[in-house]
Structure 1
Amino acid sequence: MRDENTIILNWKERGQKPFVSILCDAYNHEKFIRETLESFLKQRTQFPFEIIIHDDASTDNTQAIIKEFAEEYPQIIKCILQKENQYSKKVNFWSDITFPMAQGKYIALCEGDDYWIDELKLQKQVDFLENNQDYVIAWTDFYNKKEDELVSNDFKNTLPEVYTIDFDTLFNPYCTYTLTCVFRKDVVDPLDYKKFKYGKDNTLYSLALCNGKGAFMNFQAAAYRWHPGGVYSLQKPFFQRYSSYLNIKEIVENIPESRTKNIQKVMFSLLKASVFEALKLDKNEEFKKDEQFKRIVSDFLDKASLSLKLKYWWRYIKSQI
C-alpha cells in the first residue's frame, strides 16, 4: 500500500503523539476508499499522523476494505464502523464522532470518495501554519475528477501563490473545499459546531476564521470526485443552493464577525439562486408548500430590486402554465 521506500513509524511504541489527525467519513465508497486511504498513507511527513475513519453503516464492501487497512496499520488507523446509519439520525460525524477522538494539533479533512495526489500535501500545509501563527486554517487547489478525467480549476491563473481568506474574501472565489482543509484543532470547539442546525464545512470554516486568517495555497494536492453516489455534487441545483443559503444564513445569524458586505452578498446570491431554481421544479412538488421556503421567497422579494421582482414574477407565471 505504501511505497516500499517509505518507513512506517510505530509512533505509539515510540511514545509520540500524532501531530495531525486525518478525519475521513465514508458511506458506500467501496469503489473509492482504497485509493483514498492509500493516498493518506503515502504522505511524506516529518511528524506522526493518525487516520480516523468513520463508516456510516455502508451496505457494500466499504467496511471490509477499511478493516483490511486497519489490520495492516493498527498504529496509524482508527476506525469506527457503524451498524446503524447515523446520518439518518441527524448525528454530525465531525462534532459527535471523529473530532473528539482526534489527538493531533492539526486536523485534516477528506471524504471517503476523494483522495490526495501530492505526497507532501500535509507537510506543506503544516509548515505554512507553523510558520505563520496568524493563520489558523489552510486549503489547496484540487482537480475535479469526472470518471477517468482530471479537470483543473482556474485558480492557478487567477489567484496568487497564497491567497488570504477572511470574511471579506471567503467564497470569493469558492476555493475552500473540504478535501484539502487543514486547521488548528484548538480554534474550533465541537460544542459550538453542534449548535448549528444546518452546520456543514462552511460553518466549521467560519468558526475557525473567528480566531485567525485562512490561506488558500495555490498548488494542486487532491482530486474531488463527481459520481452518482455523491451526497452533494449530483443533487438538483435547487437543493444545492437552498441548503447552502440556509447554512450561510445561520452563520450570519450566529457569528457576528461574518456580517461583512462580502458574506451578505454571498447570502443574497444564494437566496436569489434558490428562488429561481425552485421555479424549475415540478409545479406540484410538495416542497414548494413548505412554510420555511415560503418565507425565503418573501425575504427575497423584500430585498430584490424592482427589475428582479418583475423577472421573478414573469418566470413564476410561465412555470404555472
Structure 2
Amino acid sequence: MKDQNSIILNWKGNPEQPLVSILCDAFNHENFIREAIEGFLSQETNFPFEIIIHDDASTDKTASIIKEFAAQYPLIIKPVLQTINQYSQKINFWSDVTFPKAKGKYIALCEGDDYWIDPLKLQKQVGFLESNDEYVITWTDFFTKKGDELVPNDFKNSLPEIYAIDFDNIFEPYCTFTLTSVFRKSAVDPLDYKKFVYGKDNTLYALALCNGKGAFMNFQSSVYRWHPGGIYSLQKPFIQRYSSYLNIKEIYDNIPQSRTKNIERIMKRLLKASAFEALKSVNDKTLDNTKQKDAIKEYIDQASLSAKVKFFIRSVKSKIFR
C-alpha cells in the first residue's frame, strides 16, 4: 500500500481542498473494511480526495481498523466514530452525518463491506463529469462476490461504452449500484433527501437526475459483496420487494420529472412481486402481517380482471381466504 506522501505527490491542488469526497458507512465490517479502505487509497488521481468513514458504533474491531488507517493517512482519512448506533435511531448516515462534512465538488459512495478494484475509477468518472456538464451522476459495472467467486454482470456485452440514463430508462437494466456512484455534490440537497420517508439510494439518484443526465460507464470498477451480514441480504424477499415499491412510488409521487412510463412499469412490477411474495406469509399467525395485507389490497385494487383471477387462484392455493 502506498504511503500518504506518495499519494499526495500525484495531486494537483491543496489536499485541504479535495475535489472528491469518498463517503463510506460501516457497521461490524471488521472482515471487510480493510479491503474497502485499501481500494480507496489505491486510487491514482491528479486531484486531491478525502475519505470520510463513518462507523456506526460497531461492536467488533471495525473502529480500531479505521483508526489505524486514519493515523497513517491523517490528511486523507477523516473518521467519524459513533458511540451510539445511529441506524437504530433512524438517523440517515448519508444526509445527516457524512454529506455535511464533505468538502469535495464530487461525492463517491461505497459501503464498508464493498470495495474498488480499478485504481483509475475516480479519475475516469470525475474526468467524464468534468468534460460533460450536462451529466450530474455516473455509475460503472461491477462484480458480485458470493463466497470466493466473483460473478460478472452482462453489461459489458449488453450496454454501450457510455449509456445515458434518465427517468425514461433508469433501472432498465438495473445498473445503478451505490458502490460505483460518483455525482456532483451540487446536484443533490440533503435536506430534500430527508423529506422522503422511504428514502434509499434510488431517491438520491432521482434527485440528481432532476438536474441533469446520468451515465453508466461500461468498465468494471468495483466488487459488491453478497454476504449474510449485509443489511439488505438479511431481509425477507417480501420486505425487499415492498420496500423498493414504496421507495419508487414515493419518488413518483413527489418528483414530477419521474412520472414516466418507465417508472410506472417498474412500480407495477414491484407491487405485483410484493403481493405474490406476501401470499407466502400472510397467514403466519406469529407475524404482524399488516404490510403484506396492504400490498395485497393495493395490488388487487389496481390489477386488471384477468390478473385478479390469477391472483385469486394463487391465493386459494395459499389458503389466504380460509
Q: TM-score, normalised by structure 1?
A: 0.95
- Alpha-carbon distance, 1:270 to partner: 0.4
How big is each residue's C-alpha offset from its partner over 1:205-259, in whole Å with a ceiling of 9 and x where there is no partner?
0000000000000000000001110100342211110110010011111100000
Contact 2:20 2:108 in 1 (8 A): yes
**Matched AA of 2:106:** Y
Structure 2: distance between partners of 1:288 and 1:4: 52
- Alpha-carbon distance, 1:2 to partner: 2.5
**Matched AA of 2:127:** D
- Alpha-carbon distance, 1:285 to partner: 4.8
**Matched AA of 2:220:** Q
Structure 2: distance between partners of 1:240 and 1:65: 31
Contact 2:135 2:214 in 1 (8 A): yes
SS in 2 for 1:233: helix
Structure 2: distance between partners of 1:118 and 1:3: 18
Contact 1:3 1:42 in 2 (8 A): no
**Matched AA of 2:314:** R
1:304 corresponds to 2:303 = yes
1:119 is matched with which residue? 119
Contact 2:14 2:48 in 1 (8 A): no
Q: Identity, % of aligned pairs?
A: 70
Contact 1:2 1:38 in 2 (8 A): no
- Alpha-carbon distance, 1:63 to partner: 0.5
Give the 3 Å change call, closer, same or farther, for CA 15–114 of structure 1 in structure 2: closer
SS in 2 for 1:208: helix
Contact 2:4 2:73 in 1 (8 A): no
- Alpha-carbon distance, 1:307 to partner: 2.1
Structure 1: distance between partners of 2:286 and 2:9: 55
Structure 2: distance between partners of 1:240 and 1:7: 40
Which residues of structure 1 form unaligned runs of 5+?
none
Structure 2: distance between partners of 1:206 and 1:4: 36
1:20-169 mapped onto 2 (5 Å cutoff)? 20-169=20-169
1:256 is matched with which residue? 256
SS in 2 for 1:104: coil
For these two proteins, the number of residue pairs brought into alignment is: 320
Contact 2:142 2:223 in 1 (8 A): yes
Q: TM-score, normalised by structure 2?
A: 0.95
**Matched AA of 1:33:** I
- Alpha-carbon distance, 1:138 to partner: 0.1
Contact 2:282 2:293 in 1 (8 A): no
**Matched AA of 2:202:** N
Give the 3 Å change call, closer, same or farther, for CA 190–285 of structure 1 in structure 2: farther
- Alpha-carbon distance, 1:202 to partner: 0.2
1:212-251 mapped onto 2 (5 Å cutoff)? 212-251=212-251
Runs of 4+ more than 2 Å apart: 1-11, 13-16, 285-289, 292-299
Contact 1:10 1:75 in 2 (8 A): no
Give the 3 Å change call, closer, same or farther, for CA 155–285 of structure 1 in structure 2: farther
1:186 corresponds to 2:186 = yes
Give the 3 Å change call, closer, same or farther, for CA 16–52 of structure 1 in structure 2: closer
Contact 1:139 1:215 in 2 (8 A): yes
RMSD: 2.0
- Alpha-carbon distance, 1:293 to partner: 4.5
Give the 3 Å change call, closer, same or farther, for CA 286–61 of structure 1 in structure 2: same
Give the 3 Å change call, closer, same or farther, for CA 174–287 of structure 1 in structure 2: farther
- Alpha-carbon distance, 1:301 to partner: 1.2
SS in 2 for 1:223: strand
SS in 2 for 1:23: strand
